With several copies, the nearest count.
Chain A
């Protein structure tokens, strides 16, 4: 049986606004399957986003959905989660939303270890505004504001999350959609802040400028370039050139979760 996405998608909202070949739709489907796999009640889930193409996702999903201001989704989500710590709070962000203007909320959510799952739709570019470079655009790549090739440097988003104190850090890709389902499930089940950096293809503003002939070519690049972390670790430096690890990259289970710590204090004060 084909998976029934219709269960979760708001009636009348398809087709979505994403461009032909934009891989966001692929990841969107993975997210729905991952939620379904956990058998969660949609009433108990809030899906929050900032601004950008990725951030339009919540509009399609029949959860409690909140489309906020650019970069601030995690801060809104923190308010929701602290108010209702037993609910599930999920955030989707573009790479710009999450790590450019939203970088501060990103690192603080990591530090706080609040039980929110962040999915970064990382297409290496600002899609919504038409293709300016982002903090995850690799050096040498082209963008409307780096017309001569990017001379700025990119974040390694998982490394940033790890340095900031996140307790579950993973990377997936739109190509490896089935593996992604599993990563999202694990991220959501993790008690504490979890981040999945999800590599995506923006054919419209990134692909064309960077010599990808078609959306499919972008997916096939992912197929080649992303290697399970365990296998990646065994590559020689030569073999590793142009390749990136994927899967769960960092995980800590001992650190207390923020809501638990806060409400633990509330309990202590009562007694």
Chain B
């Protein structure tokens, strides 16, 4: 399992996090040629409730496709954060939406707070692109997948006519991190 890197996207049912995982995995596997698998889980309550999507990146083969020792986890809602953060590994990163996640359970991980949803609704103009903003932020934080690959992956998966919007959302995500790092 050399170089296995586990990412979890979590939030609530309608936030497009499964798609986020798919795009991220596609960027890695198809456009960057890195081994990647994506999986997800949701309740019978497919509607609403906490939902998660996971991407494993690795140099080698990926047999077990689920995250058990997470390198980076995104949580867009309080519920998802509480429910899923226990699998973040020591020294891992927990990325939360700064407006919607208030109580971050204590743990041996770095916490990054970003206004992801706010950026989507205010800076980009549509709350529903929060997932794309998140992809940008995660790509920037992890640095594992090339920006070019991510952009291609996003554009190949979003509905026709929304390319510009999504490109903007993606950039906004990158910027949230870059601005912060600077």
User: A residues 12-54 with Cβ under 8 Å of B?
Assistant: 15, 17-20, 22, 53
Contact, CB under 8 Å: B14 / A20? yes
Residues of A within 8 A of B48 (CB): 15, 17-20
Is residue A204 contacting chain B, with contact meaning CB distance below 8 A? yes
Contact, CB under 8 Å: B14 / A17? no
Chain B: number of interface residues, binned into ranges: under 10
Is residue A146 contacting chain B, with contact meaning CB distance below 8 A? no
Is residue A130 contacting chain B, with contact meaning CB distance below 8 A? yes
Residues of B within 8 A of A15 (CB): 48
Contact, CB under 8 Å: B14 / A204? yes
**When the two chains form the complex, which single residue of B13, B46, B49 contacts A128, counting CB atoms closer than 8 Å?**
B46
Is residue B47 contacting chain A, with contact meaning CB distance below 8 A? yes
User: B residues 89-114 with Cβ under 8 Å of A?
Assistant: none
A184 to B40, CA, bound (A): 41
Contact pattern, B 26-48, Cβ under 8 Å of A = 1, otherwise 0: 00000000000000000001111
Residues of B within 8 A of A19 (CB): 13-14, 47-48
Closest Cβ of chain B: how far from A14's Cβ, in Å? 12
B46, B47, B49, most chain A CB atoms within 10 A: B47
Closest Cβ of chain B: how far from A93's Cβ, in Å? 17
Residues of B within 8 A of A22 (CB): 47
A17, A18, A20, A128, most chain B CB atoms within 10 A: A17
Interface residues of A (CB under 8 A from B): 15, 17-20, 22, 53, 128, 130, 204
Q: List 18 A-B contacts (CB under 8 A).
A: A15-B48, A17-B45, A17-B47, A17-B48, A17-B49, A18-B48, A19-B13, A19-B14, A19-B47, A19-B48, A20-B14, A20-B48, A22-B47, A53-B47, A128-B46, A130-B46, A204-B14, A204-B47
